[in-house]
Structure 1
Amino acid sequence: MTFKISPTVQLSIGLVLLTISILLVAQAIGLTPGINSNERLYARQKLAETIALQATIALKRNDRFFLPTMFNQIVEQTPSIRSLALRRSDTTVAYQTALHAKLWTLSSGSSSTPEEFRIPIVLDGVNQANLEITFTPLGSDNNELLGIPRFIWFIIFICTSGFLTFSIYLRRTLKHLDPSSVVPARVRNALNTMAEGVLILDKRTQVILANDAFVSRFERPETKLIGRNASKLGLSLENNSLHLPWELAQRSGQKQVKVRMRASLKGESAIFNVNSVPILDEKNRFQGTINSFDDITEIEAKTSMLQDMLTNLVDKQKYIEIKNQELHHLATRDPLTDCYNRRSLFERLEQHFKSKNTLHQEFCVIMLDIDHFKRINDTFGHNVGDVVIKGVCHLVWQQLGKHDMIARFGGEEFCVLLPECTTQRAQHLAEKCRSMIAGNPIDNIEVTASFGISTLAFGAQTPNEIILQADQALYASKNAGRNRCTLWSQALVKEDAVKSLARAD
């Protein structure tokens, strides 16, 4: 059994509460007569302390002319103060305003009263004098405001505020007694057939109708929705807009379409596309809005799932690309020195010789071989030999440009490709590398290398041919005593082919 309060009782309770609120506000702003004695006494104490402080400052400065002027101005400008006096510690009066001797009745040993204050003036820890102040009776000050008794102000405030608050309260109450009655039954039935939730709001954005779909989705009876402000229904915007769609429709007079909003329903977040259309009367005046709520929660969940799948695919694709790059690196690099391997060297040469502009470009090749490398391996071991190979590669790599290429040709032998490089630069680079290797012991081992240089200008037509030319020049350096650089020439071809292909250490 439910207990229902009648509209009459509800109105009566509301009016009583409003009346009590008005009286409390009147008391808070000091219009209620006869209830502020403690506050007024406190104000007198603070005023007396302020005057005492000013008097103390004047005595410290020994300003005898300031005190009379200050006392007279205070008495003239403060209606609640009747007189002031400064009495020395020997009970003689230093200065007093008119009528003070007549108005002051406290004896020297008596305590202050609400109408008569005695405040000691202390200088350098010694009580030099006492400030005496007489006030009007406590209930007589502050009884007027702008020359009108406060009781009259109280009556004016009660009448004015009561009229305004009661008018607003009754207008809102009568409006909401049955706000849904403004919607015809045929319109309500039509809206109830819609799958989307629908709210009709008045010009104050308060609900006057909610269709069955909205009531079912939000799980609130229509009776609890009617009369509520739409901004209090738990809906929030997803974007950074400061205004709700029905507010924007009201302000702009234009419909708002597919505004995304969220609401917490059954402990889960629901997402809606909200459309808000202004309702205008025959005079084109705004009367409210009709708002549809398209629940896209399930669609958003599937979209999010697809987005996660797409993100996962992209991540896997990136992973595959990284692995392919690693595989390409492994396939094109020498595992010991991390410079290019022989396969990459010939691929680069093949690309260059297939280019139509090959014959018009300068291109040099340098072959280099570590001298007496077998002796290093036999003396210090293969691990030290690997360190020497890496050290030589690193020293040469440091001298190359960003378009140059160094590759391990085999064992302790390297090949350097220098695109768009003149013969003179190639010779200079080879000599610089030879000098760097000879002048920088590797793992405390003195190492030298021999270099052979060739260029397209010598007429090579294939990668093997230009490599062979550089190799012939390399072994000319070996045969000439090692640790030197040799530029290929036609004279080298006449030497014994066996000697040119030997790998003597």
Structure 2
Amino acid sequence: MKRYITPTLQISIGILSLTLSIIFIAYSLGFFPDEEKAALEARAKISETLALQLANLAGRNEADAIKDTIDAVVGRNGDVVSMAVRGEDGKLLVGSRDHDSLWVERADGKSTATQVQIPLFNGDVPAGKIEIVFRPMAADNIFGMPSSMMGFVGFVGLTGFAGYFLILKRALWELDPSRAIPERVKAAFDTLAEGVLIMDEREFVLLANNAFVRDLYQSSKSLVGVNAGTLPWAASGAAAEAAGEFPWQTAMHVEQPVLGIPMAIRNPSGESRRLSVNATRIVDGRGIVRGVIATFDDVTLLHRANEQLNTSIQELHSSQVKISEQNRQLQLLASTDPLTGCLNRRTFFEKAAQSLQRAVGQRQSISFFMVDADHFKSINDRFGHVVGDKVLAGMADVLERSCGDHGLVGRYGGEEFCIAATGLTAPDAERLAERIRRAVADIATWLPGGERVTISIGIASLGSTPCELADLVKRADEALYAAKTAGRNRYVSWETIRPPTEAARPGQLARLLAGA
């Protein structure tokens, strides 16, 4: 289980660390007295005073007084271990107990911090010296500082930490953003179903109701004191972010509320919630902006429903496109000849009747052609039906390319084709028939060995006297019969021949009229 250090404790530790650092820096710069130096100066003064006293007593030859003085100093001053007066010849004249074992003679004759020697003179003649043995200097330094100094640091640390902690705890309690909103106001906002954030002018959250924290953000931590702009708003759903600021930032600069801004927020588990955000600024009695209140409506379910609806509409549209394409294919299959791709007989005569009606109504010319492959039965017998089908498909292609947008091309049956062309005069119709005949006769790739296919064409044009489609069909059929009788591989116009009797070709004419 994790343990969290409170902000008060963190700040207290930080301030205490700063205080102790200042003390250590001040000590290293010499702002605190040097205890070792002070001790040496004190020993120097003691030695000087004793030297004067003992020299004065020695000058009066008061040996007992010297002995008493030495014993008194050693007994009373804990820093002095022993004292003695030594003659010029090196003999100990007067001294405290165990002085010889404590004194260490130095070759250079100089004093140290623990052993001090002061010369005595009889006038200008050396008469001996006074020897004083002090206790060793204190060596209980910690981190280069005397123990007494460390005691001071410890005292400052303990008392300072306690004082800092208490003061900061009170100060932070006074500055707690949550105290800006009374509890009764919080309770009222917690009853709302929509999320609510109240922010100060720096965007720090003063209040976040339960609906926002628990339902939208789904966090177990309080958001009070958190900058609202640092929350994980999803960029893909934040329309305000595209404009460079959030809705509550905009609301702080305008008098009118900011309404219905789409946004999204991602909770700690990574789930995104779609939101509709409204924001309005909060001003005090003097008109100064003190913050903003923002409400967040959860529209995730609505957004998902809209997405599903859009998906369904797209799928429906796709289905409609497929159905339309299938209908088009069915219509194409129902209206075209499967072998040649041109119109079948039923569709051709339906469209030809419509073209004739328009031509009569608009006083346009219309010509009807009957086209028949010469000796087609012989082609099937000699080369087979596969080659025959190739010839029929090729003929249909030539007819459609030759007519272009001027006519309808349909297969009546077998090797017979029909053409209904509008906007052509009788001479134009004959020129078209000749162009078709030559185009077919010039093709040497349909039959093996380069053998050519020829066709016969009968033409019937709408004259000045209106007639029915059946009349045009009959006339074109009679002209086709005349072309075949005249030797095939040619066209014949109905206007250039004497119409034969209906008994001439009753079978073929009956079939054409029945098809019409």
> How high is the TM-score relative to the length of structure 1?
0.64
Q: Which runs of 5+ in 1 are unaligned?
A: 21-169
Which residue pairs with 2:254 in the alignment? 252
Q: Which is greater in Rg?
A: 2
Instruction: Check conservation: 1:359, 1:456, Cα contact below 8 A.
Output: no
Aligned residue for 2:472, secondary structure, equals helix
Which residue pairs with 1:243 in the alignment? 245
- Whether 2:10 is the aligned partner of 1:10: answer yes
- Whether 2:214 is the aligned partner of 1:216: answer yes
Aligned residue for 2:198, secondary structure, equals strand
Matches within 5 A, 1:374-385: 374-385=377-388
Question: Relative to 1, partners in 2 of residues 1:360 and 1:491: Cα closer, same or farther, differing over 3 Å?
Answer: same
- Cα distance in 2 for residues equivalent to 1:400 and 1:17: 102
Matches within 5 A, 1:316-335: 316-335=319-338
- Whether 2:268 is the aligned partner of 1:278: answer no
- Cα distance in 1 for residues equivalent to 2:451 and 2:181: 101
Question: Relative to 1, partners in 2 of residues 1:306 and 1:6: Cα closer, same or farther, differing over 3 Å?
Answer: closer
* Distance apart, 1:322 and its partner CA: 0.8
Q: Which of 343, 346, 352 pairs up with 1:340?
A: 343
* Distance apart, 1:12 and its partner CA: 3.5
- Cα distance in 2 for residues equivalent to 1:331 and 1:264: 57
* Distance apart, 1:244 and its partner CA: 1.2
- Cα distance in 1 for residues equivalent to 2:197 and 2:221: 10
- Give the counterpart letter for 2:307 in structure 1: S
Instruction: Check conservation: 2:359, 2:366, Cα contact below 8 A.
Output: no
Aligned residue for 1:249, secondary structure, equals helix
Which residue pairs with 1:263 in the alignment? 265
Q: Which of 183, 186, 208 pairs up with 1:185?
A: 183
* Distance apart, 1:175 and its partner CA: 9.8
- Give the counterpart letter for 2:495 in structure 1: S
- Cα distance in 1 for residues equivalent to 2:17 and 2:363: 102
Question: Relative to 1, partners in 2 of residues 1:17 and 1:280: Cα closer, same or farther, differing over 3 Å?
Answer: farther
* Distance apart, 1:212 and its partner CA: 1.2
Question: Relative to 1, partners in 2 of residues 1:324 and 1:289: Cα closer, same or farther, differing over 3 Å?
Answer: same
More off after superposition, 371-380 vs 248-257: 248-257
- Whether 2:305 is the aligned partner of 1:302: answer yes
Instruction: Check conservation: 2:360, 2:466, Cα contact below 8 A.
Output: no
- Give the counterpart letter for 1:219 in structure 2: Q
- Cα distance in 1 for residues equivalent to 2:411 and 2:175: 94
- Whether 2:394 is the aligned partner of 1:391: answer yes
- Whether 2:475 is the aligned partner of 1:469: answer yes
- Give the counterpart letter for 1:227 in structure 2: G
* Distance apart, 1:251 and its partner CA: 3.2
* Distance apart, 1:480 and its partner CA: 0.9
* Distance apart, 1:345 and its partner CA: 0.8
Question: Relative to 1, partners in 2 of residues 1:427 and 1:332: Cα closer, same or farther, differing over 3 Å?
Answer: same
Percent of paired sites with the same residue: 38
Which residue pairs with 2:461 in the alignment? 455
* Distance apart, 1:261 and its partner CA: 1.4
- Cα distance in 2 for residues equivalent to 1:475 and 1:17: 122
- Cα distance in 1 for residues equivalent to 2:333 and 2:18: 85
How many residue pairs align between the two structures? Answer: 351
Aligned residue for 1:367, secondary structure, equals strand
Aligned residue for 2:498, secondary structure, equals helix
Question: Relative to 1, partners in 2 of residues 1:367 and 1:244: Cα closer, same or farther, differing over 3 Å?
Answer: same
- Whether 2:319 is the aligned partner of 1:293: answer no
Aligned residue for 2:420, secondary structure, equals strand
Instruction: Check conservation: 1:210, 1:222, Cα contact below 8 A.
Output: no
Q: Which runs of 5+ in 2 are unaligned?
A: 21-167, 510-516
Spell out, residue by residue over 1:45-92, the C-alpha distance to the aligned partner (whole angstroms, 9 max, x if none): xxxxxxxxxxxxxxxxxxxxxxxxxxxxxxxxxxxxxxxxxxxxxxxx
- Cα distance in 1 for residues equivalent to 2:305 and 2:452: 69
- Whether 2:487 is the aligned partner of 1:488: answer no
* Distance apart, 1:502 and its partner CA: 5.4
- Cα distance in 1 for residues equivalent to 2:177 and 2:287: 22
- Give the counterpart letter for 2:441 in structure 1: A
Report the RMSD for the aligned CA atoms in angstroms.
Answer: 2.8
* Distance apart, 1:176 and its partner CA: 9.0
- Whether 2:485 is the aligned partner of 1:479: answer yes
Instruction: Check conservation: 2:259, 2:279, Cα contact below 8 A.
Output: yes
